[in-house]
């Protein structure tokens, strides 16, 4: 929904794609939906697949954790890596996600910039 809010607030497709690390094609599709039906229409858009194991409360908790230091969650440095986020989600919520899906979750939270490169 970060992309939708940014588009509704007047950000360009390029600005949204760059800020959220999304493809231009995806943001253009979101823009059409927002222009035609507003944010509610974007919320109704289905990505298919089963429902996420992370509900709104879990996502809010994860976002708060990512805004802070990884050290606060037992890691030896402040940096958040994809591997650390996957481990945190698995430990806290019992859900196991791929690197790609974990990156998508973090990006959807508007926190893609918080991830450092990982060797795992």
3-48 per-position pLDDT tens digit? 888 999 999 999 999 988 889 998 999 999 889 988 888 887 756 6
Q: Is residue 89 part of a domain?
A: yes
- Going from the C-alpha of 112 to that of each of 2, 32, 37, 58, 108, the distances in angstroms are 11, 23, 27, 17, 8
pLDDT at site 82: 95
Q: Is residue 49 part of a domain?
A: no
Do 63 and 39 lie in a common domain? no
pLDDT at site 52: 75
Q: Is residue 50 part of a domain?
A: no
pLDDT at site 4: 87
Determine the structural domain holding residue 22 and report its residue range.
Answer: 2-44
Do 62 and 110 lie in a common domain? yes
Give CA–CA dist 103/45, Å, rounded: 20
Q: What is the pTM of this model?
A: 0.59
Confidence of residue 119 (pLDDT cuts 50, 70, 90): low
Do 40 and 60 lie in a common domain? no
């Amino acid at each position: 929904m970060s992309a939708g809010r940014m588009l509704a607030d007047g950000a360009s497709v390029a600005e949204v794609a760059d800020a959220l690390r999304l493809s231009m094609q995806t943001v253009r599709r979101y823009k059409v939906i927002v222009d035609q039906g507003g944010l509610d229409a974007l919320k109704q858009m289905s990505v298919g697949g089963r429902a996420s194991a992370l509900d709104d409360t879990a996502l809010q908790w994860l976002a708060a954790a990512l805004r802070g230091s990884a050290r606060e969650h037992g890691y030896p440095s402040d940096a958040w890596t994809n591997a650390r986020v996957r481990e945190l989600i698995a430990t806290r919520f019992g859900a196991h996600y791929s690197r790609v899906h974990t990156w998508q979750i973090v990006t959807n939270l508007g926190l893609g910039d918080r991830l450092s490169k990982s060797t795992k």
